[in-house]
Amino acid sequence: MIDQTRIRPADAGDIKPLAELAARTFKDAFAKDNDPEDVQSYIDQSFSTERLRAELANADNLFLLAFLAEADFPVGYAKLRSGTLDPSVRGPDPVELERLYVDQGAIGSGIGAALMRAVLDAARRGGHKTLWLGVWERNARAIAFYQRWGFEVVGDHAFRLGSDEQTDLIMHRAV
């Protein structure tokens, strides 16, 4: 399955499928453990086509899309963001892995691993030496995935999901 995975940078023509994938995967990941209004509010604010178009146009952001075989619709995506730093991140030349999501139907297909390899390659090409991220402290599956990739918890910070203030663990690893 990994040998049938295609990963490429997103471009302006990908806004609509990216917005649909981002909204769906976020809802799949968090709806069962959160107030539906909080989840929908976050989706409306963070994954609108206007917001994604602006983020895609910003040179500090890199979106990577993952496809299975010759499919036209992405089944996973990642977003790297330069220029941000949590105070607990100790490594040199950091870049943030702001998002890495895989469609429920593609979990277990190797898409997450392929995206992580692509993220690490992109970080290296960008001259970064540290990759960091925030992950909800209650998202055990994601935490385990990141730990398998060598990330370690170095701190935490508050994350607001609608009206709910939650705690994200800050994890990092060398690139």
Could you read off the pLDDT tens digit of each residue along the chain, which spans 175 residues?
A: 446 899 999 999 999 999 999 999 999 999 999 999 999 999 999 999 999 999 999 999 999 999 998 788 999 999 999 998 999 999 999 999 999 999 999 998 999 999 999 999 999 999 999 999 999 999 999 999 999 999 999 999 999 888 889 999 999 999 9
Q: Residue 89's domain is classified under what CATH number? A: 3.40.630.30
Q: Report the largest interatomic distance among the alpha carbons of the chain, rounded to a whole angstrom.
A: 42
Q: Which pLDDT score is estimated for 38?
A: 93
Residue type, 41: S
> In three state form, how does the secondary structure of the chain look?
CHHHEEEEECCHHHHHHHHHHHHHHHHHHHHHHCCHHHHHHHHHHHCCHHHHHHHHHCCCEEEEEEEECCCCCCCEEEEEECCCCCCCCCCCCEEEEEEEEECHHHCCCCHHHHHHHHHHHHHHHCCCCEEEEEEECCCHHHHHHHHHCCCEEEEEEEEEECCEEEEEEEEEEEC
Show the domain range for 82: 2-174
Q: For the chain, what is the domain count?
A: 1
Counting every residue written for the chain, the total comes to 175
Q: Which pLDDT score is estimated for 161?
A: 87
Record the pTM: 0.94
Task: Residue 95: name the closest of 132, 68, 148, 54 by CA.
Answer: 132
Q: Which pLDDT score is estimated for 2?
A: 47
